Amino acid sequence: KVLDASTLSFGTRVRWFAICFVAGVVCSILGTALLWLPKGIKLFAVFYTLGNIAALASTCFLMGPLKQLKAMFEPKRLVATVVMLVNILFT
């Protein structure tokens, strides 16, 4: 069965939001810290991308995936959404 955020209880949604958000922040900080190692650029790209994806997933738990996508593609947010998705896809 496909996991639908709207069928989850509020407490469960908040818990998974927090887990994904913290994981996203940790991955982004870890990626930035690894930037200074040899071949750190590749590690930075991987961890920073994972951090962005986890942060997006966190808001999907709060709002629900469909509502999240509708909000992301509103005309006033379209440019930011396209830039972020290009960053994720080509990093």
Domain ranges of the chain: 6-90
Question: 6, exposed or middle or buried, with CB in 10 Å at 0-12, 13-18, 19+?
Answer: exposed
pTM of the predicted model as reported, rounded to 2 decimal places: 0.74
Give the span between the Cα atoms of 26 and 54, in whole angstroms: 10
Instruction: List per-residue pLDDT tens for the chain, 91 residues long.
Output: 445 546 778 888 899 999 999 999 999 999 999 988 888 898 998 998 899 889 888 988 888 888 888 888 999 999 998 998 887 788 6
